């Protein structure tokens, strides 16, 4: 398979670090050096499903493809207003597609997991054209009273259209369960029979544990793929990494011993948009010419679970 179109949508509301310090005991002087984030886009009056549909439309336009030509839609999402139906079904109707669709929840690694699922469909000979949409609103998962967590995230949707081709060189998925490091819990509807105590817990993060996992997992996944493909780190033109923290990106860069210009970033003005992070970055890089057809790209992401994944492809 190969990527032939991308699109992304971000909410219009910009929240700077200084704006956060108006109601939180935090500051740009703390946030920027530790994370690389200057501001993030936060959902206000937008609906995530509308953003997801628009990102999908943009990717289809970019690919020169009609929605009716799609054979499968995969949507990566952690949380949205609907419990059911799936976000992918809402997107399917919104763009006027008629193909089957599925949601996955693979936290911030969702784009890589979606690529892997798509590849399996191609290998089974079931599909010609696939749409992946990653749509996330992590700012609705955090407590905006918790400075440890809410400063890190931003919202957005990124999409990619795939068609037949031989451009995916390899995909590596990993999981290492550590469910107390990054989690959110919400209550369900009560029944007459529920006797246990339940409570809503906003997104909780053990920052340094996640940081260490992220560096190890992403570096390991990329190295594994390079070795499998008999490639060297130098053979990759651009590394498009999950945009969670500039220091994590720098640590992976240093592990791979590659120059900074191979690591485009947008964490400065998006923060961590969960699984939407990679496809939004890919879309921005394609549109501003940072990556071009024929480039060898390495994508890598990690997230709650813990899970992680990497993909090496020719654009």
Interface with ligand UT7 includes 37 (CB under 6 A)? Answer: no
Q: Is residue 108 annotated as a catalytic residue, yes or no?
A: yes
Cα–Cα separations (whole angstroms), residue 92 to 69, 104, 133: 12, 15, 11
Q: Please, are residues 298 and 222 in contact by the beta-carbon 8 Å criterion?
A: yes
Of the pair 58, 242, the CB lying nearest ligand UT7 is at: 242
Cα–Cα separations (whole angstroms), residue 213 to 24, 174, 210, 257, 304: 28, 12, 5, 19, 10
Q: Quote the least distance from Cβ 190 to ligand UT7, whole Å.
A: 31
CB burial class (10 A; 0-12, 13-18, 19+) of residue 162? Answer: buried
Interface with ligand UT7 includes 245 (CB under 6 A)? Answer: yes
Of the pair 163, 274, the CB lying nearest ligand UT7 is at: 274
- In the three-class reduction of DSSP (H, G, I as helix; E, B as strand; rest coil), residue 194 is classed as coil
**What is d(CA 214, CA 198) in angstroms, rounded to the nearest whole number?**
30
Q: Quote the least distance from Cβ 188 to ligand UT7, whole Å.
A: 25
Residues touching ligand UT7, count (CB under 6 A): 19
For ligand UT7, which residue of 16, 105, 143, 148 counts as binding (CB under 6 A)?
148
For ligand UT7, which residue of 211, 268, 287, 295 counts as binding (CB under 6 A)?
211
Q: Is residue 99 annotated as a catalytic residue, yes or no?
A: no
Q: Where are the beta strands (DSSP E) in 137-288?
A: 156-163, 168-175, 182-185, 201-205, 238-241
Interface with ligand UT7 includes 34 (CB under 6 A)? Answer: yes
Q: Report residue 65 as tokens.
A: 């493809």
Interface with ligand UT7 includes 32 (CB under 6 A)? Answer: no
Q: Quote the least distance from Cβ 139 to ligand UT7, whole Å.
A: 13
Q: Is residue 150 annotated as a catalytic residue, yes or no?
A: no
Please give the residues from 71 up to 110 whose contact with ligand UT7 meets the rule CB under 6 A: 108
Interface with ligand UT7 includes 203 (CB under 6 A)? Answer: no
For ligand UT7, which residue of 6, 9, 15, 35 counts as binding (CB under 6 A)?
35
Interface with ligand UT7 includes 214 (CB under 6 A)? Answer: yes
**What is d(CA 254, CA 248) in angstroms, rounded to the nearest whole number?**
10
Q: Please, are residues 18 and 39 in contact by the beta-carbon 8 Å criterion?
A: no
Cα–Cα separations (whole angstroms), residue 204 to 2, 100, 138, 276, 282: 36, 34, 12, 20, 28
Interface with ligand UT7 includes 151 (CB under 6 A)? Answer: yes
How many residues are given for the chain? Answer: 315
Q: Quote the least distance from Cβ 150 to ligand UT7, whole Å.
A: 8
Interface with ligand UT7 includes 31 (CB under 6 A)? Answer: yes
Interface with ligand UT7 includes 177 (CB under 6 A)? Answer: no
Q: Which residues does the annotation mark as catalytic?
A: 108, 242, 272
The residues binding ligand UT7 (CB under 6 A) are 26, 30-31, 34-35, 108, 147-148, 151, 205, 207-208, 210-211, 214, 244-245, 272, 303
């Amino acid at each position: 398979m190969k990527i032939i179109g991308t699109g992304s949508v971000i909410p219009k509301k910009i929240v700077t670090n200084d704006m956060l310090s108006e109601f939180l005991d935090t500051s740009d002087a703390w946030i920027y050096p530790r994370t690389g984030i200057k501001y993030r886009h936060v959902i206000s009056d937008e609906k995530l499903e509308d953003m997801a549909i628009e990102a999908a439309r943009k990717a289809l336009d970019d690919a020169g493809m009609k929605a009716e030509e799609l054979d499968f839609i995969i949507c990566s999402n952690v949380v949205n207003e609907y419990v059911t139906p799936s976000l992918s079904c809402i997107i399917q109707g919104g763009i006027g597609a008629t193909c089957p669709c599925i949601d996955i929840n693979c936290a911030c690694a969702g784009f890589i997991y979606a690529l892997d699922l798509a590849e399996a469909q191609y290998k089974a000979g079931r599909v010609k054209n696939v749409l992946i949409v990653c749509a996330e609103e992590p700012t609705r998962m955090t407590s905006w009273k918790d400075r440890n967590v809410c400063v890190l995230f931003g919202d957005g949707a990124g999409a990619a259209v795939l068609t037949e081709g031989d451009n995916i060189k390899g995909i590596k998925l990993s999981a290492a369960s550590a469910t107390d490091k990054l989690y959110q819990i919400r209550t369900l509807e009560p029944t007459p029979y529920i006797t246990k105590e339940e409570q809503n817990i906003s997104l909780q993060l053990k920052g340094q544990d996640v940081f260490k996992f992220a560096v190890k997992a992403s570096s390991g996944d990329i190295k594994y793929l390079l070795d499998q493909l008999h490639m060297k780190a130098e053979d990759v033109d651009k590394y498009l990494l999950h945009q969670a923290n500039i220091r994590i990106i720098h640590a992976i860069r240093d592990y791979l011993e590659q120059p900074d210009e191979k690591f485009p970033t947008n964490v400065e003005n998006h923060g961590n948009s969960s699984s939407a992070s990679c496809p939004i970055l890919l879309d921005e890089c394609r549109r501003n010419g940072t990556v071009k057809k024929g480039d060898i790209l390495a994508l890598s992401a990690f997230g709650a679970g813990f899970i992680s994944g990497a993909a090496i492809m020719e654009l």
